[in-house]
Amino acid sequence: MDCTKFLKTLLTSIGVLVVLVYGLILLVDPYQNVPFSLPLDRAPISTNQRFAYPALARNPIFNSVIIGSSTVRLLNPQNLDNAIGTRFANLAMNSATAYEQKRMHELFLRHHPVTDYVVIGIDDSWCRRETEYKKYTFRAFPEWMFNDNSWDDLLYMFNDKALENTVRLLEYVVGRRTAKYEINGYRNFTMDFGVYDPRVVRARLYPNGVPLVRRIPQIPPDSQYPSWEFAAHDLLSTMLATSSEVKGTIIIFAPLHGDYLARSEALYRECKGRIVMLGQEYGVKMIDFMIESEITSSDEKFWDPLHFRNEVARMVESSIVDVLAGTLGGQRQYVTY
């Protein structure tokens, strides 16, 4: 056999295969960011929300957004839409850093100059004492998806993960796979936790086997430690400043389990105090569930210290509706600022 001819044939075949695979990725467009892709019925298909949600942030069908980490992922946009008459997208991401949340917030507002409401969930990601904030987690974060030049995205589309998601999307199109997330970004991720087992949950809530305190503290906003630095608050200040044209911005101090709050009481008091001052400076509404309440003192309302159950999600949704509608009244599990 002529080795030269064989080598040319092999290289040509590899080249053709590369072009075909790359062409398939670009035409199917699993991340919905290729200008010339096929007009397919797409849905968020990537398991990594950082790759799945930029397309939702650019989608013109939405006029309101939820930003945060997994502590507000259970908020169902459809419930808010039905009550308020909006089109919310829930773009909260698992373990999202404050920086990643800011980037998602920027992307949404850039593509929605007329935005009704922005809901920002506050939890540990915003209450870390640090002089420099951490940008990313161990999960890949595609900075190239967060600019407005979709053509440079093509440089990052030829890889095994893009091919995997291309296959996933084709399976979705032909009815052999369901979308990872609903078209508004929502997914009841607690389905992955299995059957609710109080004994397992209690072990998660109390690492040492017993509660830290008999009664959780009130944890009001405070300002006793001016030397403490919360680097992420600069990001939040920028987010609130760029939301000045938004119809309404709401900050939610997410419900965390009371024993978990009590273990870092001073931290949460100081963090809340700084954020409340920021919120008041920019005239935003704030809903605080990080208080002593029937929610935070009940083991049965949580899966673990950071993640509440669906019934609590409905309470948080109702609080948003009440604040926006100005219908506060009766016994509440939160306070407002």
pLDDT digits (tens, 9 = 90+) for 293-332: 999 999 999 999 999 999 999 999 999 999 988 887 666 8
Mean pLDDT of 187-214: 88
Is residue 124 a part of any domain in this protein? yes
Tell me which of 149 and 196 has the higher pLDDT. 196
pLDDT band of residue 213 (cuts 50, 70, 90) is: low
Rounded Cα gap, residues 136 and 285, in angstroms:
28
Among 311, 322, 202, 208, CA closest to 257:
202
| Mean confidence (pLDDT) of the chain | 93
Rounded Cα gap, residues 18 and 105, in angstroms:
36
> How many CB atoms lie under 10 A from the CB of residue 139?
16
DSSP string computed for 276-291 = HHHHHHHT-EEEE--S
Residue 218 lies in domain: 50-148+183-336
- For residue 9, the model assigns a pLDDT of 77
Is residue 189 a part of any domain in this protein? yes
Measuring CA to CA, how many Å separate 178 from each of 42, 48, 191, 192, 301?
A: 11, 15, 15, 15, 29
Measuring CA to CA, how many Å separate 333 from each of 9, 119, 287, 313, 328?
A: 71, 18, 10, 12, 12
Rounded Cα gap, residues 155 and 191, in angstroms:
36
Burial of residue 11 (number of CB atoms within 10 Å: 0-12, 13-18, 19+): exposed
Is residue 285 a part of any domain in this protein? yes
DSSP string computed for 147-169 = SS-GGGGGGG--SHHHHHHHHHH
Mean pLDDT of 5-24: 84
Is residue 80 a part of any domain in this protein? yes
Mean pLDDT of 37-41: 91
Rounded Cα gap, residues 262 and 268, in angstroms:
9
- For residue 330, the model assigns a pLDDT of 61
Is residue 167 a part of any domain in this protein? no
Is residue 315 a part of any domain in this protein? yes
List, in sequence order, every residue forming a beta bridge with 285; answer none if it has no partner.
Answer: 250
Tens of pLDDT, residue by residue over 227-270, are 999 999 999 999 999 988 899 999 999 999 999 999 999 999 99
Tens of pLDDT, residue by residue over 264-303, are 999 999 999 999 999 999 999 999 999 999 999 999 999 9
Is residue 156 a part of any domain in this protein? no
Which residues touch 303 (CB under 8 Å, ≥6 apart)?
A: 190, 193, 196, 201, 204, 309
Strands 335-336 and 285-288 come out as antiparallel
Which CATH number is 301's domain given?
A: 3.40.50.1110
Is residue 215 predicted with pLDDT exceeding 70?
no
Q: How many domains does the chain have?
A: 1
Is residue 178 a part of any domain in this protein? no
- For residue 7, the model assigns a pLDDT of 81
